[in-house]
Structures are given as C-alpha cells and as structure tokens.
Structure 1
Amino acid sequence: GKGLRVMAAATKDMDPNDFDPDGDLLAMVQDLQMTALVGMIDPPREESHEAVLAAQDANIRVRMVTGDDVVTGAAVAKQLGIPGEAILGTELAAMSEAERLERIDNIGVVGRVAPEHKVLMVETLRKKDAVVAMTGDGVNDAPAIKAADIGIAMGSGTQVAKNASRMILTDDNFATI
C-alpha cells in the first residue's frame, strides 16, 4: 500500500453525430475498451509527519477522516504515523451506538466518508468525553466542523466551511495547529 489514486482511461468508437453533450452521458459508459490505468500519488506535506508526532507527544489523538478510498487513507496514515484500524464510513454508520463507542478508540482512519459519517465520528468521540477538533475545507466538512468542540477550516476552503469554523488556517497547513 503506497496510497496511490488510480485513474482509468478507456475509449469507445462512435459516430460524432450521435453525441449529445446534454444527453445521458452515463449511457455512453458501456462497451468501453480499457487503454490504461494510471497510479498517481498525492503525498502528504513534508511537515505533516512531524506534526502528527508532536500532537501525539501532547496526548492528542490524530485520526484521518477522508473521502479517499480506505486503502489509500490507511497507506497515508501509515506514512504519517497515525495508528489504528481503517474502516469505511458506511461501516461506522452501520454499527450500533454501543459498538461505535466500544470500537472508536481503535479506529484511526475512516475512508469513503459522507458528511453524515464525519458528524457521526465527531458525535461518537464527544460521547466518550473527548475534546474534538475537526479540520476541513469543503461544504461537505461544514456539519462536522460545526459539531466539533474546535472547528477548523482551511484558508483556501469554501466560505461554508469557514463560516462553520471557529478557527481558519490561512496557510492550509495541519502543522500550524
């Protein structure tokens, strides 16, 4: 697990006159000829590993909640020194509250999350009497940023995320926290 993002490229022979850009484009994604798979890496910032270690030294537990695939998230978490089990957001949501409360301490990465999974993570940690800080940059992060004790938005993030937060990282750098 290097945490690569994979992009597929494919082709399809068709008559250009049959193409309607306003039509059902999903219907065209049939009978494609695979031409390539490309692995791309989006490495964490150099200072992120040290920031995670500094947080851990201060008894702050860092977790990764990501829209990325859980395998990619787990690989990046390993590079950063974030311990714990990696699960899907749907797995977290499918657990009973009692099971979430029992397992949350062992979860380090939640992948393929929807906005409601992020909120569920924050609420579960708060029920365990944790003080929760949440960082994010998108509209989909805003509900969890607002639900956290300390909501942090990235400076380059959406206005919705910034409005939900109590702090804005103008340099977009986790290490600044």
Structure 2
Amino acid sequence: MSGMQPCDVVLRPCTATDLPALEDWAPTGNSRTHAMRFSHQEAGDSTYYLATCRQDPDTFVGSCEIRWTGCAASEVPRCPEVNGLQVWPEVLRSQGIGTRMLGLLEEEARARGHHELGLGVDDSGPKRLYLRLGYVDTGHDYLDRYTWIDDAHQVHHVADPARWLMKPLDGESPESTRS
C-alpha cells in the first residue's frame, strides 16, 4: 500500500496461517508478540485483529488486540482494553488508518454488548488524539508491564508508566455504566 490513496480499512481476526506473514510484516524477534497475541485469542481472552485496506486485502497496514478480560493492571476500571494498536510501516501513519481501526474496534465492542472501551497511553501525542476521539482521562495511573526477549535470548521485564483512558460506547460517562 503506497499511502498515496486513502485506505478503506478492514479488520479481521488473526488466524494461525497469518503468523509467518505477520512476522515478515512487523518482526517481533524472539518475543514472538504476534504468536502470543494469537494465543490469547485462542484462549478466548481477546481478539487479535489485523487491518488491511479493502483495495489490497493481502497487505497488512495495522494490528491490535482487544483484551475482552480487561487490562491486567488491577488499579484501572474494568472494561475491554485496546492493546498494542499499531499502524505499520511508519509511512502509513497520520493517514487516518489508526483512527479508523479504533472506530471499528469500538463498533465490535459495542456489538458484543460492552458499554466502555479502555486503553493506556504513555505519550502526550497519542493521548491528545484519543481525547479528541472521545476517550476520557480517568485519572488512573498504572504501570504497563510487559516482557521482551532480545537477540541473545535475554528476557527483559519492563514497567512503563501509563495513564488509563476510557470511552463510553453508549453516550454515558465512562464510569457511570460500570457494574
């Protein structure tokens, strides 16, 4: 996808046969992040969505996981979590692909009966975008914990400070629909 024409984004769940192509598209090395996210989907905890353009359905332009079980951090309000939203390669960023992906993820969560969708941010640039898209800063700070494995197979544990944002999917305030 050249980035010259607008992308009509299509989302679909990842399949096992997608994993080699995903590693070619956005390599995760020894961390095997695509396979890990797919395993979460296979366990029923999430859906790992792949984004393509309708004009070129064989080329990935993004990926994202919705964790239906919510964020692992206990200090944030419970709701499904958008995790690892990416548009790749970088040349495709700032063309509305991520925004359209997020809109489709919100539609999917709504269709499954969820009233809110949450995500964590650690950078003011994306935070401003999410706020413009209707996400609300809940005031909850937490540590986004993850592990990655380098080329020497050394395991690295990371804890990045993040801020929890939520979007009401039915027009109410984010915490008013929590049970």
- Does the pair score TM above 0.5? no
Bigger RCO of structures 1 and 2 (CA < 8 A, at least 6 apart)? 2
Structure holding more helix per residue: 1
For the pair shown, the structure with the greater C-alpha radius of gyration is 1
Structure holding more strand per residue: 2
Q: TM-score, normalised by structure 2?
A: 0.31
Q: TM-score, normalised by structure 1?
A: 0.31
